[in-house]
Structure 1
Amino acid sequence: MFLIAACGYSYFLYLAAVFTTIQQADAMKYIPFGGLLLLGLMFLHSCGSSAFEETKRKAEQGDADAQCQLAIMYREGDGTTQDYGKAREWYEKSAAQGNADAQYDLGYMYDEGISVPTDKEKAREWYEKSAAQGDVNALNNLGLMYLRGEGVEQDFERGHGYLSQSAEQGDAAAQFNLGLMYNNGAGVDQDFAKAREWYEKSAAQGHAGAQNNLGLLYWSGEGVEVNHRLAVQWFGKAAEQGEVNAQCMLGAAYLLGDGVEQDPERGYELLRASAEEDVPLAQYYLGVMYENGDVVEQDDEQSRLWYARSAERGNERAQLELGRIYLEGRGVPRDVEEGRKWVRLAMDNGNEEAKTYWEEKGL
């Protein structure tokens, strides 16, 4: 770390000298600025290589922290060519000496199948070793494994326990996951107030998922009083980080002027971005917009395409609309069987309007 800092400091001094020289020059055309800058970049690169070599030297001498750092450098391609295989080898050496960070990262490699075949049991074993030392990331991931029954028999109580240990140490991901448990009543009694508490802690640390879900609570009034303006604020924070579900909700709010000054164009932009990321609700809204010619030109084909993408991902309102399109032959040849299929799916997914439509049409 000191070597990197020293090199960075020296590099900035070097650049300062370059610019000073240029400012003092009588004829700038004689100053090879590009060459000087290239030399500076080469100098900084050599510092990175030196840091790598120094870390490698310590790692080869058995320093567990250096071994873990070397693994990270191979993983990130920092000062060397990226090499996940070598990263795993050095993680293994460090983890064997009890380094909690290496144990977690090694568990993650097995969890995600990075340079090794996916092996949930090995992932769990390494997470357990790291979690035993209090590593919040390992505690969180181990909790999720117990909730999902991955590499271990499903056990909501143990999953909740591990998540709680991590969340109480301030881990934003674990706080979000605990909020989800209470929000959905997964392994615990459903409790929107507790969900809100954990979402708030996580959202305050910038967790986009928690910000979005907190917005949803305020939007629907679950565990809190309905407050669409506050909901929009949370959707905005999450959307700025690229949270696609928040982009959908924020887009709908702008489209309708609900909780924010109406701006249909901005609403369309957000909904389009979300729909392109396969958020079913956003795709449904685009279908409606193209069907009615709201903000965009009316286009039956575009409407059908967006309804279809949404319907295929389970949105029951889109399934109903797609069924109507085929039954009524709007922009497509009339196809009773295809129409019946989509209306039936909407009914199966609990859409009451689909049931009424089915009965009225005698389907």
Structure 2
Amino acid sequence: MSSYEMLVDEIVSLMGMKGSYAGIEKLESMRREGDTNATTCLGELYLEGAGVIADTEMGISLLQEASEAGNPHADDTLGRVYLYGSYGVPEDKPRGHAYIEKAANAGIPESIGTCACDYYYGKGVTKDLEKGFEWALRGAKLGDPVSNALCGDAYQTGEGATRNIPLAIQHYREHLKSNSENTDVMCDLAICLADIGGEYGTFPSQDDLTEAFGLLGKAVEMGDVRAHCLLGIMYGDGNGVPQDFELSHHYIELAANNGFEPAQELLGRFRRTMRGKWTL
């Protein structure tokens, strides 16, 4: 845990025990002594209106003060404010990215993940798949879940990196350790494990197929439409499960009815047998 995170925990605890004023007073005192973590924390409280009356102008001013003094956590917060246009601040992606990359260069894992995405998807900066992937590798080594997901995407698609399905699986699994509710990553991991669609030419083990089926089942329970479609494909192909065109049609139809275009296309391939059963 960084010194900044420790301070945040301390202030939250103090405000809980003695009230908001005690926490604000301590931060103001530390700020006067030149503590940039305190200035950053104070700025964020003004943005959120936590313990003080919300004041975006004051919050931004305090964060800029901390940023100019070299605090990377202030850079990270300012970057996100401008990237996403938060707290009524006009969106300015190039300015936001500049703050994020400054924080990333200081080694803040979350900033590294955001910086990686900025380059990989061209947000606030010229799109550069390879540079985005390089940043993601740095973040993944620090355990950043966003970086792990992006590394998985790059290895799965071969965009920004040489396609490598085993490495994609590794990074997706790492992401899910800290973000177990991300159904997009569950679906991508399932595709890699089971080679759904047969694009990769791999030979999944029964353990891999079982894991993929479990991931999709969980994502389906959480309402993910792509997971419905993928589960339907597995049933239609008999991929790790007994082939069942009725279940295949059921799941694909649910995805199609919820606007998932690939499912709508697949649905048109089903035909009724003479006995009224679905087949492909």
TM-score for both structures, normalised by structure 2: 0.72
Q: Which of the numbers 72, 75, 84 marks the counterpart of 1:148?
A: 84
Following superposition, the deviation at residue 249 of structure 1 comes to: 1.4
Following superposition, the deviation at residue 227 of structure 1 comes to: 1.6
Following superposition, the deviation at residue 253 of structure 1 comes to: 1.9
CA distance in 2, matches of 1:84, 1:278: 40
The share of aligned pairs that are identical, in percent, is 26
Q: Which of the numbers 135, 138, 141 marks the counterpart of 1:198?
A: 135
Following superposition, the deviation at residue 164 of structure 1 comes to: 1.9
| Residue identity matched to 1:109 | L
| Residue identity matched to 1:160 | H
| Residue identity matched to 2:204 | E
2:12 is matched with: 75
- Once the two structures are superposed, residues 111-151 of structure 1 have per-residue CA deviations (whole angstroms, 9 ceiling, x without a partner) of 45545676544432332222222222211121122222334
Unaligned runs of at least 5 residues, structure 1 = 1-64, 330-363
2:180 matches 1:252 = no
1:317 is matched with: 262
Q: Which of the numbers 155, 172, 178 marks the counterpart of 1:218?
A: 155
CA distance in 2, matches of 1:127, 1:153: 16
CA distance in 2, matches of 1:88, 1:287: 55
1:134 is matched with: 70
SS at match of 2:62: helix
SS at match of 2:210: helix
2:217 matches 1:272 = yes
Contact 2:252 2:263 in 1 (8 A): no
CA distance in 2, matches of 1:77, 1:120: 24
The equivalences for 1:170-249 within 5 A come to: 170-243=107-180, 244=182, 245-249=184-188
CA distance in 1, matches of 2:137, 2:127: 17
2:200 matches 1:261 = no
Which of the pair has more CA radius of gyration?
1
The equivalences for 1:80-119 within 5 A come to: 81=17, 87-88=23-24, 90-95=26-31, 97-112=33-48, 114=50
SS at match of 2:227: helix
Contact 2:229 2:263 in 1 (8 A): yes
Following superposition, the deviation at residue 252 of structure 1 comes to: 2.0
2:226 matches 1:281 = yes
| Residue identity matched to 1:146 | Y
Superposition CA RMSD, Å = 3.7
Shifted more, 282-291 versus 210-219: the winner is: 282-291
Unaligned runs of at least 5 residues, structure 2 = 273-280
1:164 is matched with: 101
Following superposition, the deviation at residue 305 of structure 1 comes to: 4.2
CA distance in 2, matches of 1:117, 1:200: 40
Contact 2:39 2:62 in 1 (8 A): yes
TM-score for both structures, normalised by structure 1: 0.58
Aligned residue-pair number = 254
| Residue identity matched to 1:233 | Q
Contact 2:229 2:251 in 1 (8 A): no
CA distance in 2, matches of 1:82, 1:254: 52
CA distance in 2, matches of 1:103, 1:177: 23
The equivalences for 1:331-342 within 5 A come to: none
| Residue identity matched to 1:254 | L
| Residue identity matched to 1:205 | L
SS at match of 1:173: helix
Higher RCO structure (Cα 8 Å, ≥6 apart): 2
Judged with a 3 Å threshold, the aligned counterparts in structure 2 of structure 1 residues 253 and 93 are, in CA distance, closer, same or farther, namely same
| Residue identity matched to 1:261 | P
CA distance in 2, matches of 1:149, 1:137: 18
CA distance in 1, matches of 2:76, 2:61: 14
Judged with a 3 Å threshold, the aligned counterparts in structure 2 of structure 1 residues 85 and 283 are, in CA distance, closer, same or farther, namely farther
CA distance in 1, matches of 2:257, 2:13: 40
Judged with a 3 Å threshold, the aligned counterparts in structure 2 of structure 1 residues 75 and 160 are, in CA distance, closer, same or farther, namely same
